[in-house]
Chain A
Amino acid sequence: GESVGLHLPTLSVQEGDNSIINCAYSNSASDYFIWYKQESGKGPQFIIDIRSNMDKRQGQRVTVLLNKTVKHLSLQIAATQPGDSAVYFCAEKYILTGGGNKLTFGTGTQLKVEL
């Protein structure tokens, strides 16, 4: 089930089940939305992104859904494995006028995979 910790929401799933991690965003002007995975003591690792004019994108074992009407983003992980245990962040990406981009990170969700 899903629970809210002191700062970080936690999602616990059984190995082999599908995981759904949710994110609400605030800025409708974002150009892309990105999901990152962060293992303890490490930097964020890119998982998948979706352009703001799309509503679904699939990768290897992962699917990102974007609902712009309610400003909601989700990451679905199929057949969750122990190695998927980590904190997952969504991020909004803005492409800057002069080049480059800027990322704004969401709160994050701790995914715990139970054997």
Chain B
Amino acid sequence: GAVVSQHPSWVICKSGTSVKIECRSLDFQATTMFWYRQFPKQSLMLMATSNEGSKATYEQGVEKDKFLINHASLTLSTLTVTSAHPEDSSFYICSAYDDSYTYEQYFGPGTRLTVT
């Protein structure tokens, strides 16, 4: 149980384009999901907290207009990187919070974004 998926697992896009990453909780409902970014050989940094039916909460220094988050259902949150640039190339990881049974965050497998 408590499986979280991400799609795509990797994506390459051209500079200036936008790319959408999906995060799904497969066997539980998640009112809250989290988006992290991880650069090579570095730790996970929380970007934003995604709340179903309301606006996301962004961490300090994260541009909300650049990283658009939509949490339209209890099992799906999306992160759209708008007008991507090479410095946005990173490993994006989501987690989903089980607020019904375990009260734990479960992590997805991550999405590797490369902007050329």
Contacts and interface: CB of A to CB of B under 8 A. Distances in A.
A18 interface: no
Given A43-B109, A44-B107, A100-B99, A105 B41 contact: no
Given A41-B110, A42-B110, A100-B99, A8 B104 contact: no
B93 interface: yes
A99 B46 contact: no
- Main SS of the interface on chain B? strand
A74 B45 CA distance: 21
A45 interface: yes
Given A41-B112, A42-B110, A5 B41 contact: yes
Nearest to A106: B43
Contacts of B40: 7
Contacts of A41: 91, 110, 112
Interface residues of A, number: 22
Contacts of B93: 43-44
Interface in A62-105: 89, 99-105
Interface in B1-38: 4, 6, 32, 34
Contacts of B99: 99-100
17 contacts: A6-B41, A7-B41, A8-B41, A36-B107, A41-B91, A42-B109, A43-B4, A43-B95, A43-B107, A43-B108, A44-B44, A44-B107, A46-B104, A89-B43, A99-B99, A103-B95, A106-B43
Interface of B: 4, 6, 32, 34, 40-46, 49, 91, 93, 95, 97, 99, 103-105, 107-110, 112
Q: Which 7 A-B pairs have the closest CB atoms?
A: A43-B107, A7-B41, A105-B43, A8-B41, A105-B44, A43-B109, A43-B110
